[in-house]
Amino acid sequence: MAIGSIDSATVAQTSKTAGLRMEDLLTLLMTELTYQDPLKPVDNKDFLTQMAQFSSLETSRQLNDNIVQLLSAQSLSLSVGLIGRTVDAAVDSSTVSGQVTALQLASGQPMLTLTAANGQVFTGISMNQVQNVR
């Protein structure tokens, strides 16, 4: 790939795998401009296209962060509605049934506590494990 020909797919893949931040991408762009061939400088149109791609990438990253926060809030809201309800959940290799008696957050994810009819307590049940709500 020649200097000055960075496409958005390459930038997106690189930022995903290497964990590049917007500052890293701007540093890369400045390095590209510093070491470009003076006889073949980057065209203004190409430069503006790259800047637009960087801006679009940052906007997409922010949108993704907001969607993750929204999904977390929705999961919390749904789990609060389960308190007092009877649910079936996959625990290890079996299904347990019990009433949701408590809710706690672990790393921002809701974890349920189930109390079975025989008094047995199951803690740390994630929303992904819930199979049925009654």
Q: Based on the structure, what is the number of domains in the chain? A: 2
Amino acid 7: pLDDT: 42
Residues 91, 64 within the same domain? no
Does 2 fall in a domain?
no
Residues 43, 65 within the same domain? yes
In the chain, what is the straight-line distance between the N-terminal and C-terminal CA atoms, in Å?
58
Residues 63, 92 within the same domain? no
Q: What is the dihedral of CA 20, 21, 24, 28, to 10 degrees?
A: 70
Residues 70, 24 within the same domain? yes
pTM of the model: 0.52
Confirm if 133 and 85 have CB atoms less than 8 A apart.
yes
Confirm if 89 and 122 have CB atoms less than 8 A apart.
yes
Q: What is the pLDDT along the chain (134 residues), one digit of tens a residue?
A: 333 434 444 444 444 544 567 777 778 778 877 888 777 777 777 777 877 887 888 889 899 999 988 988 888 888 888 999 999 999 988 999 999 999 998 887 889 999 999 999 999 999 889 999 98
Residue 109 bridge partners (DSSP): 106
Instruction: Dump strand ranges (E) for the chain.
Output: 86-91, 94-106, 109-115, 121-126, 130-133
